[in-house]
Amino acid sequence: MKRPPETLTSPSNPLIKTLKGLERKKERQATGLFLAEGARLVEQGLANGWQPDTVVVATAVADRPHIAALAERAEAAGARIVLVPDRLMSKVTHKDNAQAVIATFRQRRITLDHIRITDKARKALYIALYEVRDPGNLGTILRTADCAGADGVILVGTCCDPYSFEAVRASMGSVFDIPFAAASYEEFEAWRREAGLTSVAASVNGTARHDLVDLQQDTVILMGNEQAGLPPEVEADCDQLVLIPMRGGADSLNLAQATAIMVYETWRQRDFQ
Amino acid sequence: MKRPPETLTSPSNPLIKTLKGLERKKERQATGLFLAEGARLVEQGLANGWQPDTVVVATAVADRPHIAALAERAEAAGARIVLVPDRLMSKVTHKDNAQAVIATFRQRRITLDHIRITDKARKALYIALYEVRDPGNLGTILRTADCAGADGVILVGTCCDPYSFEAVRASMGSVFDIPFAAASYEEFEAWRREAGLTSVAASVNGTARHDLVDLQQDTVILMGNEQAGLPPEVEADCDQLVLIPMRGGADSLNLAQATAIMVYETWRQRDFQ
């Protein structure tokens, strides 16, 4: 690092309070920041050009070449670098996820305009989540959408926060990678009509089997809330309601599982291009 | 209920300690019991013939007809019924999952012999998880396997505990429904050869695309550990190593997501019969 980094020595340092505060949505909204825990995650944020605010490094690992390089890169990107003695690291990281590096990044407020179709060479695939509530599901879906090379994820209506610790962790860094936008249902529906996207919703009310409908056009896959699914008026707007088969008597698939099945079926129909 | 149920009044009652203890694997092993939280889950356990040990009901809901019926059914199945004042319920349930009914059930130790092919009319589908470590993944996979009507799940080697609270919760009751057995890798491999199952493993070393191999024979899908995947010697034993496509540069799919994709591709090839 170019200049000697700050060293935090007291557990009452306000930075600890600030970092802990980011576990609450209210604080994330007030500051516009969010937490990324672990060197790998921080690296992904930097690699994708996200703006780091503060990077906290455990003293014990600060001299390791790849950690020093990471801190240097973050500093060059404008971050404040703070060394924290190991005994205080547990104050700033999650109990079940002890990490030697954590960082705060500036949130991005991405609108639908930012995720419109740019690559005309291949068919578009978007995933719209209607009032998803579980941040683990959301993070997992971001990860799967990223793996499948989807064009973006749209959070429709009142969804859980993609910048929550649980969502960021479950996304395994995909939160930095795959574009996602939040929108009201009306905004979403206007956008998808203008973009010429066929909307295909997985629903218990679906009549067509999910693998027997044509998913080769520019498509947005619509998935409903974990408990309530999609409201009837939203289902009425969809071009296709499809049913993922289940054995008789079985309950329902987990939302993230159902989404993975839909996304991979779509990609399969496109021969994984 | 036939006789007036016990009412627990003191937070120092040993039952509370016993119930809380079941959050630890050691206590689950020592007692052979596990926890199911929520009326729906308890109902599923009873409906599937699992042996209830104790059923705890919050006083406030004890008179509701469906709760009273549930308690009666559990009592008929040999359970001890205990009423607990609402103020004490929080002592026996998880903070993030407040429930008015919880029960302990007796674990089943299912061997490979119990999950052998019985239905000759359709092709078999088993899922073998090699050293799966995350109970949320395990529970989610049990749920998906159940939805897809798989014949059973085999926990190979040192896996996490399917009777942990997290696994039971993520399974959404499928833990009571789908047969699962634990086995060493040697036991598993001997069993699957004797059963005539084709073994198909999803692996980063796979060369065939997962949807281009024939999954229409009696099949066991083998999935590796979250971090390490499958060891080379296990991969060498498999009939097929397949690769689930991912976009270039993407990290990996979550284990439960990858399993769902494999299971549903298999079932799709069988025309969802």
A254 interfacial to chain B (CB closer than 8 Å): yes
Rounded Cα gap, residues B52 and B78, in angstroms: 7
Judged by CB atoms closer than 8 Å, whether chains meet at B261 and A256 is answered as no
Count the alpha carbons within 13 Å of B259 in the hemisphere toward its beta carbon.
Answer: 34
Mutate to test the interface with A, among B40, B171, B172, B264 (most CBs of A within 10 A): B264
The reply to whether B137 touches chain A by the CB within 8 Å rule is no
Would you call B154 helix, strand, or coil by DSSP? strand
A-contacting residues of B 144-173, CB under 8 Å?
Answer: 144, 146-149, 170, 172-173
Q: Which residue has the tokens 């092993």?
A: B29
Residues in chain B: 273
Beta-carbon separation of A144 and B254 below 8 A:
yes
The pLDDT assigned to B189 comes to: 98
Residue A36 β-bridge partners: A103
Q: How far is A171 from chain B (nearest CA, A)?
A: 9
Would you list the DSSP string of B86-97? HHHHHHHS-GGG
B147 with A174: Cβ contact below 8 A: no
Q: Which CATH architecture has domain B6-106?
A: 2-Layer Sandwich (3.30)
DSSP reduced 3-state for B195: coil
Please tell us whether the domain made up of B112-269 is placed in CATH 3.40.1280.10: yes
Q: Would you tell me how many other CB atoms lie within 10 Å of the CB of residue A84?
A: 28
Ranges of beta strands (E only) in chain B are 6-7, 33-37, 52-58, 80-84, 101-106, 125-130, 152-156, 180-183, 198-202, 208-209, 219-223, 240-243
Q: Mean pLDDT in chain A?
A: 93
Residue B35 bridge partners (DSSP): B104
Chain B residue with minimal CA distance to A268? B211
B257/A contact by beta carbon, under 8 A: yes
ipTM confidence score: 0.94
CA distance A38 to A170: 13
Pick the closest to residue B152 from B101, B189, B122, B117 (CA basis): B117
The per-residue pLDDT string of chain B (273 residues; one tens digit each, 9 = 90 and over) reads: 556 678 888 888 899 889 989 999 999 999 999 999 999 999 999 999 999 999 999 999 999 999 999 999 999 999 999 999 888 888 877 766 678 999 999 999 888 988 877 777 889 999 999 999 999 999 999 999 999 999 999 999 999 999 999 999 999 999 999 999 999 999 999 999 999 999 999 999 999 999 999 999 999 999 999 999 999 999 999 999 999 999 977 789 999 999 999 999 999 999 999
Are the folds of B6-106 and B112-269 the same? no
- The pLDDT assigned to A78 comes to 96
Domain ranges across chain B: 6-106, 112-269
Per-residue model confidence as pLDDT tens digits over A254-273: 999 999 999 999 999 999 99
Specify the pTM: 0.94
Q: Which two tokens stand for residue A217?
A: 């056009």
